[in-house]
A and B are shown apart, each in its own frame.
Chain A
Amino acid sequence: MENALKNHLIELENESLELIREVCFTNDFDKIVVLYSIGKDSSVLLHLFQKAFYPFPIPVRFMHIDTGWKFKEMYTFREKISKDINLIVYKNPENLNPFTDGSRYTEIMKTEALKQAIEQYGFKIAFGGARRDEEKSRSKERMVSIRDKYHKWNPRNQNPEISPLWNTYYTEETELRVFPLSNWTELDIWEYIRQENINVVDLYFAKERNVVKTPSGMYIATQDKHKGEKRSVRFRTLGCYPLTGAVESEAKNVDDVIEELKTAKYTERITRVIDYDTEGSMEKKKKDGYF
């Protein structure tokens, strides 16, 4: 039984595969990009794309919006993955610093960078690995979500969506963001990773790491600035290391992570500074064009 996909994971997988194919087969592959963040959800998304088009290779490009401030383990992982997929790496030349530029950093290095890259490559459809259970404004998100020509999200101006009769059209005035993992939870992602044997970055697993405790969370100590202390920690989400908090954990492998999550008292987003800087901040970022 451990090897067979659990029933509800099959249903989730089926829905995702059907959506991926419906969007790709009704549009030009050249206009489509898959946003790849090197995180666990991206790993699952990549796996689903491989399954959706099997036995053919994935017909669309992937893109990583880099800030230059990701964990070094993430860059190593990206290096490995880039052999399997057609990956674009885009970085905003403005090069802001998360320590000194505050919330402008996310705006310029992530939201603005994404908009620049979409325009530069002429993409009209961007797939993302966001899930509805991640955050409140995401729970209202369509699987196929419309953005205006300035890449902005207007929650009041979306298509009524009857899944699986997804409306996969865009126009000169609009573009689409597509979320095949909409109905997955964090636990589903991990159970799927276990059952399909999907590779993820080691940072998701507990290890003695040099960390600094601050009022807003626990961060990886950078050699020049802080003197950290050794603790057994792991990361529930991955992003830019100065903005991504670690959690104390003994979960050393996928099985342990699943057990830990079943009794977790907090959501994963608590470790991301970006989502909690103000109330409704994800909603505001989405309205500005963040994915």
Chain B
Amino acid sequence: MDKIFSFICCGSVDDGKSTLIGRLLLDSGNVKIDQLQEAEKISKRNGSNRTELSLLSDGLLSEREQQITIDVAHRYFDYNNIRFHILDCPGHKQYTRNMVIAAAMTNTALLVVDCMGGIQEQTLKHIDICSLLRVQNLCICITKCDLLQGDLQDNPILKNLCKKIETLMKKYNFNYTIIPISSVSGYNIDKVFNQIYTYAQEVLETQNKKCILHIQAARLSKDTRFYYARETTHTSPEKGENYTLYPANIGVGISNVTGHGVFNIDSDIDVERGDCITNTPVLVHNILKQKTIWFNEPSEDMLLKHGTRIVKIKKYTDDLIETDDVIIFNDIDDIKENGFAVIIDNKTKRTIGCCVFIDNKRSNQQTTTHKNEDESKKQKLKSILASQGFSQADINKMIASIK
């Protein structure tokens, strides 16, 4: 296997997501005999004389009883040297939040639309979510085409639906394609495979040179400081390259890389959890232009987690969030992986929202620049004191007294 490519499968409830996934798993040779036997057994008990392919993908008992998907199911299949990771999303309205999180993690979606039922309220909702979370590729599968009579090329229902979808797509920015399929008969399933394989190649070939390291921890061993980081864009730091430390805004060099996300830097600047070291421009603000999808009602006391930073939300409106400290991010249109955050209720510690950063680059936010300069001066002073042999504790005391 060369690479892992994830995509979501979404669409309205009962439009045939799980059945399509069952078919993809089966045709790619990723279903084992015992799994098939179990599906056969349950199908028979449910009074069906053919094996329900959706049973290969629906997991929980309560889901099978109601024949709906509640939660994102993670499935994997290997096809032409690529590991495909499917995030099978719930179509039911009550579980839309689980569709949101899946869309945040991928660039590509399979969207199912029932040929008879057409575009539903939930279909539109899912398209909106895909658009907001900048899913670029949309493979729209018109499902259950085995139910249509006669020549499919000339079928009025199908033609009409395709026209409707094309009109709808004009409102959006997707790279989309429409494929009429039947998961039950296997009609056009090869086209679906080809399409996602093409998307996968396109996405995986654009190598990301941008490296964004969110510091998870700093630990001292004898005289050497080791930094542990999350590689947000899946790109590793390279020895000898020059980077910038934020929010301090100071240049640093990577002096050694000792493991995944583990490295040393060439100066004794104080770097701590929540800082960010990067080779690409990032934004450092505490007033954020954003759009939030709420999973629960917003509460009085909320935290925002982005990168490895957790800050308190001071104020929020539909478009703006103000936090008690800066975060180090990008707009979702610039670098998707660095373009969203989660909102956590500080009391219950539950995740209650997903916040997407939009249009911050263009907007003028002076409030945070000052803070940056202060921080930058402080860091420079710290490194001067450190070079004169003061201990870290003494330096911190001195800096605090300046305030």
Contact = CB atoms under 8 A, between A and B. Distances in A.
A and B from one complex: yes
Between B33, B42, B59, B226, the greatest number of chain A beta carbons within 10 A of the residue's beta carbon is seen for B59
A99 interface: no
B68 to A, nearest CB: 12
B104 A182 contact: no
Nearest to B58: A136
Interface stretch (B173-181, B238-246, B349-357, B368-376): B349-357
Contacts, number: 142
A163 B105 contact: yes
18 contacts: A11-B3, A17-B260, A18-B231, A21-B228, A22-B216, A22-B308, A52-B228, A132-B76, A136-B59, A140-B70, A140-B71, A155-B71, A160-B98, A160-B354, A174-B349, A182-B74, A265-B32, A269-B34
B75 A139 contact: yes
Contacts of B3: 7-8, 11
B210 interface: no
A270 B36 CA distance: 13
A52 B226 CA distance: 12
B306 interface: yes
A161 B262 CA distance: 25
B230 to A, nearest CB: 5
B83 interface: yes
A99 to B, nearest CB: 25
Given A7-B3, A174-B349, 20 more contacts: A8-B83, A11-B4, A17-B260, A21-B217, A51-B259, A54-B258, A155-B60, A160-B97, A162-B340, A162-B342, A163-B105, A165-B306, A167-B351, A170-B349, A171-B349, A183-B4, A183-B76, A267-B35, A283-B60, A283-B61
A265 B231 contact: no
A54 B262 contact: yes
| Top 8 A-B pairs, shortest CB-CB distance | A169-B349, A136-B59, A280-B61, A8-B1, A159-B351, A25-B217, A160-B101, A140-B71
Contacts of B300: none
A56 B354 CA distance: 35
Contacts of A137: 59-60
Interface string B334-359: 00000011101000111100100000
B314 interface: no
A159 B343 CA distance: 11
Interface in B207-265: 216-217, 219, 221, 226, 228, 230-232, 234, 258-262
Contacts of A10: 260
Interface of B is mostly: mixed
Interface of A: 6-8, 10-14, 17-18, 21-22, 25, 51-52, 54-56, 132-133, 136-137, 139-140, 155-156, 158-165, 167, 169-171, 174, 182-183, 185, 264-267, 269-270, 279-280, 283-284
B32 A267 contact: yes
A32 to B, nearest CB: 14
Nearest to B41: A279
Given A18-B261, A133-B76, A160 B59 contact: no
A10 to B, nearest CB: 8
Contacts of B342: 162, 165, 167
Given A160-B354, A264-B32, A155 B295 contact: no
B115 interface: no
B98 A139 contact: no
Interface string B186-226: 00000000000000000000000000000011010100001
Given A6-B1, A267-B34, A162 B354 contact: yes
Contacts of B73: 139-140
B100 interface: yes
A150 to B, nearest CB: 18
Contacts of A7: 1-3
Contacts of B226: 55-56
Contact of A11 (B64, B105, B234): B234
A140 B231 contact: no
Contact of B216 (A14, A21, A265, A266): A21
A256 B345 CA distance: 50
Contacts of A136: 58-60
Between A8, A13, A269, the greatest number of chain B beta carbons within 10 A of the residue's beta carbon is seen for A8
Contacts of A165: 305-306, 340-342
A165 B357 CA distance: 15
A158 B72 CA distance: 11
A8 B261 contact: no
A30 to B, nearest CB: 16
A140 B74 CA distance: 6
A167 B349 contact: yes
B33 A266 contact: yes
Nearest to B96: A160
A10 B231 CA distance: 12
A183 B74 contact: yes
Contacts of B74: 132, 139-140, 182-183
A25 B351 CA distance: 19
